[in-house]
Amino acid sequence: MASLVVDSAPLVLDVGVVLLAAATLGYGARRVGLPSVAGYLLTGLLVSPFTPGFVADGSQLSLLADIGVVLLLFEVGIEIDLKRISREQRYLFWGVPTQVAIGMLIGTPVFLYLDVPMLGALLLSLSIAMSSSVVIVNITRSPRRKTDTVTEEAMLGWSVVQDVVGVSLAAIILTLYGTSERPLVIALGGLVGFAFIAYIASKVLPFILKKVRWEKDLFLIYSVSVGLVLAALGTVAFGIPMALAGFVAGLAINQSKDTEDVRKAILPFRDLFAVLFFVVIGSLIQPAQLDTSWKFALLVLVLMITLKTLPTALLVKTSGLKIKPIQFGVGISQIGEFSFVLGSLAFKEGVITVDQFNGLLVAVVISILGSTLLVRKTKSPDLKQ
């Protein structure tokens, strides 16, 4: 037992130091008007093996970050209320797919022109088309925000439908163009099989939660464990990326009457592990590679503005709602957690280079900071506030 304690002490130290630094830098970032995510990203950069000083165990932190992104997308899936959106925000069902399609149809040929393989081009263009649910939530809840209620609700709804569209497209892309040796029929069967398992879980979990509704500890354990088990099962048994599987699992379970209670139960865990997720993003940036990757980062940002910011503002303006279109477009113009997952998949599959992956990470950081700050100062002169 003593040996076990000694062996685990370095991991505990790493996690403790990283969380302490993230909390401190996150607080400092808020004090100067930046989002706390900026502090988390900076923490990752400081504890990475690519910068001098304290170096955290990247593999251990990545494991905890994987749990964070699973719970993050699991919670996003749970939070989606498609019935409410179809009733109150119908324009999202044509606006979001149009915005994503614009990004895919124009972005993919650009990357193909740069000799990026088809799988990499598709994943990169989809990652640029996607926004960050975490950042958008922070924008709409920040005490410094300058958005009105209608704009905030539209931004949240847009990001939710965007996640559904993005996960669906990612599953199709990986099935058709992934480097897995599994035949296409088997891959498609895996998607169907996991959907069936998630459906069964959506029927069984409410029954269990009803039994333990007043047992807060058991309710919490079931809520967290079901999300993790389904996400891991999707990867191990059906070959679906874990983050995507977590989202699909949450989407299936959100039909339960206890949806809101489940979401509230996992929120503290999601927030804690999500901090480590953004720390890991920062820790992967290689400052020594910036002289060769900044051009790709700039390309990603330019494509994001031309293929997401501007088209989104135009699409929202045609919705007929009293939304500030330019502010709205700026508010969803960041590359976040789901984009990082797609970029990581592309890098793991060997269809983008180290410089391209590093450039994408730099674009993630710049877009998050830029979107959060500019949305507070952006107004739409063509609409009355």
- Could you give the angle at which helices 242-253 and 149-177 cross, rounded to 10 degrees? 130
Secondary structure of residue 180 in the 3-state scheme:
coil
Least confident of 77-86, 243-252, 341-350: 77-86
Least confident of 105-109, 202-206, 379-383: 379-383
In this predicted structure, the answer to whether residue 99 has a pLDDT above a threshold of 90 is yes
Secondary structure of residue 254 in the 3-state scheme:
coil
Phi-psi region of 378 (alpha: psi -120 to 50; beta: other; left: phi over 0): beta
Percent of the chain residues past pLDDT 70, beyond the cut: 83
SS (H, E, C) 56-87: CCHHHHHHHHHHHHHHHHHHHHHHCCHHHHHH
Secondary structure of residue 48 in the 3-state scheme:
coil
- The DSSP symbol for 236 reads H
Q: What is the pLDDT of residue 379?
A: 58
Q: What is the pLDDT of residue 28?
A: 92
Buried b or exposed e, range 343-366, using 16+ CB within 10 angstroms: bbbbbebebbbebbbbbbbbbbbb
In this predicted structure, the answer to whether residue 339 has a pLDDT above a threshold of 80 is yes
- DSSP E strands: which ranges in 216-336? none
Answer for the pair 294, 362: CB distance below 8 angstroms, yes or no: yes
CATH fold of 71-270+289-374 reads Na+/H+ antiporter like fold (1.20.1530)
- The DSSP symbol for 385 reads -
Size (the chain), residues: 385
Amino acid at 229: V
Of residues 144, 178, 140, 146, the one with CA closest to residue 159: 140
Give the pLDDT mean for 13-39: 86
Q: What residue spans define the domains of the chain?
A: 71-270+289-374
Answer for the pair 122, 171: CB distance below 8 angstroms, yes or no: no
Residues 6+ apart with CB under 8 A from 61: 14, 15, 18, 276, 279, 280, 283
Q: Which of 36-50, 82-96, 301-315 has the highest mean pLDDT?
A: 301-315
Q: What is the pLDDT of residue 5?
A: 46
Residue 49 to residue 56: CA distance in whole angstroms: 8
Give the pLDDT mean for 307-322: 85
Q: What is the pLDDT of residue 110?
A: 96
In this predicted structure, the answer to whether residue 384 has a pLDDT above a threshold of 70 is no
Q: What is the pLDDT of residue 119?
A: 93
Structure tokens at 228: 């993790």
Amino acid at 39: G
Give the pLDDT mean for 264-268: 74
User: Taking the alpha carbons of 79, 85, 88, 92 in that order, is the dihedral positive or negative?
Assistant: positive
Q: What is the pLDDT of residue 68?
A: 72
Secondary structure of residue 362 in the 3-state scheme:
helix
Percent of the chain residues past pLDDT 90, beyond the cut: 19
**Residue 60: count of CB within 10 angstroms of its CB:** 16
Q: What is the pLDDT of residue 54?
A: 65
Q: Tell me the pLDDT of the chain averaged across its residues.
A: 80
Residue 113 to residue 70: CA distance in whole angstroms: 34
Write the pLDDT tens digit of every residue in 123-175.
999 999 999 877 887 787 776 777 777 788 888 888 888 888 887 888 788 87
Q: Which residue has the higher pLDDT, 85 or 326?
A: 326
Write the pLDDT tens digit of every residue in 214-263.
787 787 788 778 778 888 888 777 777 777 778 777 777 776 666 677 77
Residue 316 to residue 2: CA distance in whole angstroms: 61
